[in-house]
């Protein structure tokens, strides 16, 4: 049945009071009937405003038209011309500020559920396609890729398709970057990311884990090994702290550490012996996706009270609207216009409370958001045994520190040309969070794509 209403076909979901006790995926995905009905809401506009909202210019109306005609494999083929990780993007892209924000349907009602349809098509392909990825004919040229997050996986995939012999060097024991260690299972099942990685291997990409470039091997050594170009997609995995008293107490984590212990070290599975605190009450400092993920994870580990402590109001929160909505439904308590000033410990050095002050909003600051101002004398304490800091991440300085001539900006991000992703060193390209600072999966993928194209041109011109 076509969906003729002003609203998106609702996404089937686990009930909030059930899902906040398990790590299964929250959103269950459209059925074929739901997808076809939703696809029929697309007006197939001539000027395709949705495409302009997508950082990798997915031909959105074209893939949706195939869904409307039940041509799901054709829809997948269209999608994957522009994005190599549709099952991931369909789940985690901030569509509400990208493609869906430009949808004409959104003027009078809700936009077409583009992300939900993307996810449907990708999942349908995974469940139904029998065709194994083919290993492209190799062209005899070697490229090294550093890191195995979405920027690197995209770059490696595109280069492999062009015939390059690609070796990926990943610091952790598992490939996938934030998709594996950061974003929780209940938002992005790891099996999906693993399938994408297996697909790359099937195309002939070699992935070496436990390889910290800058320590184990330098860029010069990679060149000396016969790689003609290097791509750096080392992300932004260095957590920022508030530098308030008490950040060293037992029970204080960076969100990255907390999430890595749960996701990558499988702390959520009883048969795993991962050391992690299962907090009784936890305060998460921050208002982005990372904060929401940490809060919802703490809840699932059994916390009674989980507080989001954020110094501005909900309107300024950088997290996706859907994540905020899901967090609230699951019982996360929002302490807005609240800023921590100290974390207090008991006599054994364990966190026992977080001291905060109330804030009010003043004039907009350089970020365009209203500046939070402290209300003098408004200090109060929240009794918690765990404080998780989720106020942002910076690029890890290891590679720039060990690579002479690799230019970085004052935020520690590798400087790369916006179009070619070329760095200050010949033959070295970079993209993703390592260049932009903490951003999004789709932007990292877009950068990885541009870099693959530039690397191909660079190697061809060198060998012409």
Sites of contact with ligand FAD (CB under 6 A): 92-93, 146-152, 169-172, 177-178, 182-183, 211-214, 233-235, 237, 259, 289-290, 293, 396, 398-399, 432-434, 438-442, 444
Least CB distance from residue 94 to ligand FAD, whole Å? 6
Task: Output the six-digit token pair for 453.
Answer: 């194209």
Instruction: Provide the edge-to-edge strand list for the sheet that holds 305-309.
Output: 252-254, 386-389, 281-285, 305-309, 333-335
Least CB distance from residue 183 to ligand FAD, whole Å? 5
Torsion, Cα 225 231 237 238, to 10 degrees, reads 70
Least CB distance from residue 146 to ligand FAD, whole Å? 5
Of 26 and 151, nearer to ligand FAD (C-beta) is 151
Task: Output the six-digit token pair for 65.
Answer: 């038209």
The residue length of the chain stands at 464
Residue with tokens 């609207």: 321
Q: How distant, in Å, are the alpha carbons of 94, 141, 212, 390 from that of 289?
A: 10, 39, 27, 9
Phi, psi angles (nearest 5°) of residue 72 = -70, -40
Least CB distance from residue 335 to ligand FAD, whole Å? 20
Least CB distance from residue 442 to ligand FAD, whole Å? 6
Least CB distance from residue 116 to ligand FAD, whole Å? 15
Of 35 and 193, nearer to ligand FAD (C-beta) is 193
Of 55 and 279, nearer to ligand FAD (C-beta) is 55
Collect contacts of 237-243 with beta carbons under 8 A, ≥24 apart: 237/178, 237/393, 237/395, 237/396, 238/393, 238/394, 238/395, 238/396, 238/397, 239/389, 239/392, 239/393, 240/389, 240/391, 240/392, 240/393, 240/394, 241/389, 241/391, 242/285, 242/340, 242/389, 242/391
d(C-alpha 55, C-alpha 443), whole Å: 6
Going through 293-448 in order, the beta strands assigned E by DSSP cover 305-309, 333-335, 338-345, 351-364, 370-374, 380-382, 386-389, 393-394, 428-430
Least CB distance from residue 353 to ligand FAD, whole Å? 25
d(C-alpha 421, C-alpha 29), whole Å: 35
Of 213 and 459, nearer to ligand FAD (C-beta) is 213
Least CB distance from residue 178 to ligand FAD, whole Å? 3
Which helix (DSSP H) or strand (DSSP E) does residue 18 occupy? Answer: helix 16-19
Tell me 420's DSSP state. Answer: T
Of 122 and 146, nearer to ligand FAD (C-beta) is 146
Of 169 and 268, nearer to ligand FAD (C-beta) is 169
Which helix (DSSP H) or strand (DSSP E) does residue 151 occupy? Answer: helix 150-161
Least CB distance from residue 169 to ligand FAD, whole Å? 5
Of 295 and 359, nearer to ligand FAD (C-beta) is 295
Helices 255-263 and 289-300, packing angle to 10 deg? 50
Of 147 and 251, nearer to ligand FAD (C-beta) is 147
Of 345 and 427, nearer to ligand FAD (C-beta) is 427
């Amino acid at each position: 049945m076509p969906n003729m209403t002003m609203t998106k076909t609702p996404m089937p979901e686990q009930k909030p009071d059930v899902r906040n006790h398990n790590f299964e995926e929250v959103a269950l995905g459209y059925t074929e009937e739901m997808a076809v009905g939703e696809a029929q809401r697309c007006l197939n506009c001539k000027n395709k405003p949705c495409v302009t909202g997508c950082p990798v210019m997915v031909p959105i109306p074209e893939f949706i038209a195939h869904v409307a005609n039940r041509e799901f494999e054709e829809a997948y083929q269209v999608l994957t011309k522009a994005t190599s990780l549709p099952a991931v993007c369909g789940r985690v892209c901030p569509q509400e500020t990208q493609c869906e924000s430009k949808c004409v349907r959104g003027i009078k009602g809700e936009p077409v559920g583009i992300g939900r349809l993307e996810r449907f098509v990708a999942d349908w392909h995974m469940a139904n396609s029998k065709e194994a990825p083919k290993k492209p004919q190799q062209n005899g040229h070697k490229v090294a890729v550093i890191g195995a997050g979405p920027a690197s996986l995209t770059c490696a995939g595109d280069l492999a398709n062009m015939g390059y012999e690609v070796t990926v060097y990943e610091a952790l024991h598992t490939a996938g970057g934030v998709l594996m260690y950061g974003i929780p299972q209940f938002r992005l099942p790891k099996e999906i990311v693993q399938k994408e990685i297996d697909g790359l291997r099937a195309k002939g990409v070699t992935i070496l884990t436990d390889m910290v470039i800058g320590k184990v091997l330098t860029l010069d050594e990679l060149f000396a090994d016969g790689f003609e170009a290097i791509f750096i997609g080392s992300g932004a995995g260095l957590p920022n702290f508030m530098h308030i008293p008490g950040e060293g107490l037992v029970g204080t984590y960076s969100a990255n550490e907390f999430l890595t212990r749960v996701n990558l070290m499988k702390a959520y599975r009883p048969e795993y012996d991962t050391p992690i605190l299962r907090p009784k009450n936890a305060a998460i400092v921050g208002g982005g996706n990372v904060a929401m993920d940490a809060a919802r994870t703490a809840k699932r580990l059994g916390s009674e009270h989980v507080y989001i402590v954020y110094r501005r109001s909900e309107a300024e929160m950088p997290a996706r609207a859907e994540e905020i909505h899901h967090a609230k439904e699951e019982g996360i308590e929002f302490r807005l216009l609240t800023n921590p000033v100290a974390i207090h410990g008991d006599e054994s050095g364990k966190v026992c409370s977080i001291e905060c002050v109330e804030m009010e909003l003043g004039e907009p600051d350089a970020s365009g958001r209203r500046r939070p101002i402290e209300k003098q004398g408004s200090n109060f304490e929240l009794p918690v045994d765990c404080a998780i800091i989720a106020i942002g991440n910076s690029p890890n300085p290891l590679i720039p520190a060990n690579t002479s001539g690799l230019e970085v900006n004052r935020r520690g991000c590798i400087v790369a040309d916006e179009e070619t992703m070329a760095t200050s060193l010949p033959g070295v390209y970079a993209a993703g969070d390592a260049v932009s600072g903490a951003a999004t999966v789709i932007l990292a993928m877009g950068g990885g794509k541009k870099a693959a194209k530039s690397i191909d041109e660079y190697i061809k011109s060198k060998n012409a």
